[in-house]
């Protein structure tokens, strides 16, 4: 009975930790987009019903969650495992930021005759969908190699401890 109670408490803590870490990743993703789109007030546009900005923001958030989720799912609470869990989360979050940023930057450079962010601001849903698919597609392609990197970091734990 006591083991069941301990498992319940530890699982509840992991759920709360998952919420906090996911919120941190979401905040980081939103901050990233704000820096990538100077001069555009995304939340104002979303509040006014700009679906293009909403779709694109949603795609970036999903992309970040895809890349960070494995680190959150594998988060351990005991010492010394928690150290490697924090390292994995930080690596996954940094990788998510870099991958999303580079994808948007490269897509922008490849379409020199199109100002994606100006089109999003105007509400161009077609541009939002294409840009969103590009970001999510690249993230899906990068997710497995990132998971492999996180496994390598996790295996270092068994070597060191």
The pTM assigned to this predicted structure is 0.87
- Structure confidence at residue 69 as a pLDDT band (50, 70, 90): very high
* pLDDT tens digits along 142-161: 999 999 999 998 888 777 77
**H-helix or E-strand containing 94?**
helix 81-110
User: Using omega within 30 degrees of 0 as the cis cutoff, is the peptide bond preceding 104 cis?
Assistant: no
Identify the pLDDT of residue 65.
94
* pLDDT tens digits along 92-140: 999 999 999 999 989 989 998 999 989 999 999 999 999 999 999 999 9
- Judged against a pLDDT cut of 80, whether residue 10 lies above it is answered with yes
**CA-to-CA distance for 97 and 25, rounded, in angstroms?**
9
């Amino acid at each position: 009975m006591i083991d069941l109670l301990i498992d319940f408490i530890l699982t509840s803590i992991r759920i709360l930790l998952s919420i906090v870490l996911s919120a941190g990743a979401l905040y980081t993703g939103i901050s990233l987009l704000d820096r990538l789109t100077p001069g555009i007030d995304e939340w104002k546009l979303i509040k006014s019903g700009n679906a293009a900005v909403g779709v694109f923001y949603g795609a970036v958030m999903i992309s970040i969650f895809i890349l960070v989720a494995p680190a959150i799912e594998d988060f351990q609470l005991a010492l010394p495992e928690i150290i490697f869990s924090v390292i994995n989360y930080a690596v996954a979050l940094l990788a998510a930021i870099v991958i999303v940023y580079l994808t948007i930057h490269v897509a922008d450079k490849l379409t020199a005759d199109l100002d994606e962010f100006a089109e999003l601001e105007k509400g161009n849903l077609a541009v939002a969908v294409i840009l969103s698919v590009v970001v999510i597609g690249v993230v899906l392609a990068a997710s497995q190699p990132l998971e492999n990197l996180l496994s390598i970091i996790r295996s270092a734990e068994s070597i060191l401890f």
